[in-house]
A and B are shown apart, each in its own frame.
Chain A
């Protein structure tokens, strides 16, 4: 899932809003509403449920017609196959998961380390043509990856970053820095500049004031932003497909996609790999929820 620009812009101010009030106070939903919601939930969640079921079915149950919903034999062999190669060594899939962890992790750290101070600077200082600069930064997110992947492929070939984890890390960081700047600027704007002013009069330098007094207040915002960036890098498919080819460099999305096709497809393995791949995202989504709700300013500034 790539975080769209709209989300990036609107998330900041939305934090302070109370959760939307339930129209009928929760209990008083009409039977029609409940029925509609149930149908929606089943439709939305069915693929997920089917994926989980497939991942723990034996192969002959996977292909059984009519499909078996409940009375199948449970097995964890697909999960073993995700991590262990037939010869007993490490599987290619597990290497790709590790690659995903490294690429997503490092690119997120990079984007955060570059983006947070930049957001602070845009929020606090009188920068020439600030609006234009911010718009330019945002505009780098306007184009979908597919549009830029060819030029980037050509550039990467020149500098030898094709089929290289560093190449993916850099391109993901490049995509996440604008997002981080925009999102974090909203959070920094919310923290009154007076804390830093007071700290500077106390005797700290501007950077110390930022580091000691503003940064701790930004932690929830940084966490939320980083999780979004992480999810983008984790899920990214287009660049990963075009810019990597060897098993030792590939990230999980193209690796999983690579399992499909050929003469036979081991659907059990695809499902198990997908479950393993989706889990971190679910956990992060949960974290985002918590952090987005957490207010940033607990402060003592009279407004």
Chain B
């Protein structure tokens, strides 16, 4: 068992409201990712769950039992700290062994467990070194090993892969997913990297300024963002947002363009809206009836694809195109829009209107 339920967490540091009513329900055995930009309160959330932060309000329940007042040691959790927090005077071996020593395991048990962990994370060579003699990536793996060496109720991981190079990060991503599956344990995983979030998570909670914006599967969060901020934060290149309003059977842009109004767009006429278009739902090639005209603004070749920046009125649309696409800035072109996959947001509240009619 390993359910983690945090309800209405509030925490302020002086004038900064780090957590403003964060509620998370992490089911047993899930890989739960908390995704948010820097300063969103991700670390504070994890520390609150771990019992390291005294909350202003809210409760933490572990396996259904109220643990809000429990000491960290009593919560039976393991945590990978964002800054590793490896013990400087101890060797890597002693660092990894520490959770087992604290719980009075036998020396042979410890030796077996440390050996197993170090081979899993490829740090066998480093066992006798001290943290100061490790690279950032090595420290991060030692920190992971120290957490994974035990079988706690749940694992809390604070951006455990950010300091690895791209190749190692991709490798460790797969490795962590594999470890998660083989342990069947609960992971609460914090990151600001949406690729990590979307590729590893069973469930994602999106955090911004101490409030949860949306909780859902990676697909839900990507396909049906709850508001314009989530839509803009998840996805790369970021979604393009165009100001417009509905007028009869048309959507009329603030810059004068018109598109046929999608069937699901039930917003009343005249209300200020934002049309959200993801790069892959736009095209500079196909011909369709729904299209916008603009001029080429720039090309961003990314190897497997090219992102074409198209200027429509005063706004820039990011359009995904084949890597072979060419053009000169200033050239006029038409962008075809897949309106069935577009998003509409209320311009004032930012909330999604797409779900209502779909």
Chain A residues close to B by CB (< 8 Å): 126, 192, 194-195, 197-206, 208, 213, 216-217, 297-303
Q: Tell me how far the C-beta of B43 lies from the nearest C-beta in chain A, rounded to whole angstroms.
A: 11
27 pairs from A and B in contact (CB 8 Å cutoff): A197-B47, A197-B50, A197-B52, A197-B81, A198-B81, A198-B85, A198-B86, A198-B87, A198-B98, A199-B98, A200-B52, A201-B52, A201-B72, A201-B78, A202-B101, A202-B146, A203-B99, A216-B89, A217-B89, A299-B88, A300-B88, A300-B131, A301-B83, A302-B82, A302-B83, A302-B136, A302-B139
Contact A205 B84 (CB under 8 A): no
Query: Nearest-CB distance from A91 to chain B (Å)?
Result: 46
A97 to B286, alpha carbons, bound, how many Å? 99
Q: Which residues of B (65-104) have their CB < 8 Å from a CB of A?
A: 71-73, 77-79, 81-89, 98-99, 101-103
Query: In the bound complex, how far is the Cα of B147 from the Cα of A203, in angstroms?
Result: 12
Chain A's closest residue to B88 (CB) is A299
Given contacts A200-B52, A298-B89, A300-B134, contact A194 B81 (CB under 8 A): yes
| A201, A202, A204, A298 — most chain B CB neighbours (10 Å) | A201
Task: Give the total of B residues in contact with A, Cβ under 8 Å.
Answer: 33
Bound Cα distance A176, B103 (Å): 39
Bound complex: CA A252 to CA B161 (Å): 62
Q: Are B72 and A197 in contact (CB under 8 A)?
A: yes
Residues of B with Cβ closer than 8 Å to A? Answer: 47, 50-52, 54, 71-73, 77-79, 81-89, 98-99, 101-103, 130-132, 134, 136, 139, 146, 163
List 18 other contacts, CB 8 Å, given A195-B88, A204-B102, A206-B71. A194-B83, A197-B50, A198-B79, A199-B102, A200-B51, A200-B52, A200-B71, A201-B73, A201-B79, A203-B73, A203-B102, A203-B103, A298-B88, A299-B131, A300-B84, A300-B87, A302-B139, A302-B163
Q: CB-CB < 8 A to A202: which residues of B?
A: 73, 98-99, 101-102, 146
Pair A300/B98 contact, Cβ less than 8 Å: no
**Which residue from chain A places its CB closest to the CB of B85 in the assembled complex?**
A194
Smallest CB gap from A126: residue in B: B54
A193 to B131, CA, bound (A): 17
| Chain A min CB distance to B67 (Å) | 13
**Chain A nearest CB: distance from B235 CB in Å?**
29
Contact B52 A297 (CB under 8 A): no
A163 to B81, CA, bound (A): 56
Scoring B85, B86, B134 by chain A CB atoms within 10 A of each residue's CB, the highest score goes to B85
| CB of A220, distance to nearest CB on chain B (Å) | 12
Structural contact, A200 and B86, CB atoms closer than 8 A = no
Determine the distance from Cα of A126 to Cα of B14 in the docked complex, in whole angstroms. Answer: 12
- Is A200 touching B72 in the complex (CB atoms < 8 A)? yes
Give complex CA distance A300, B101 in Å: 21
Contact residues in B for A198 (Cβ distance below 8 Å): 79, 81, 85-87, 98, 146
Across the A-B interface, the 9 shortest Cβ-Cβ residue pairs: A300-B131, A203-B102, A299-B88, A194-B85, A300-B86, A200-B72, A198-B85, A202-B99, A302-B83
Distance, CA A206 to CA B130, complexed state (A): 24
Nearest CB of chain A from residue B156's CB, rounded to whole Å:
8
Q: A192 to B72, Cβ gap below 8 A?
A: no
Least CB distance from A131 to B in Å reads 13
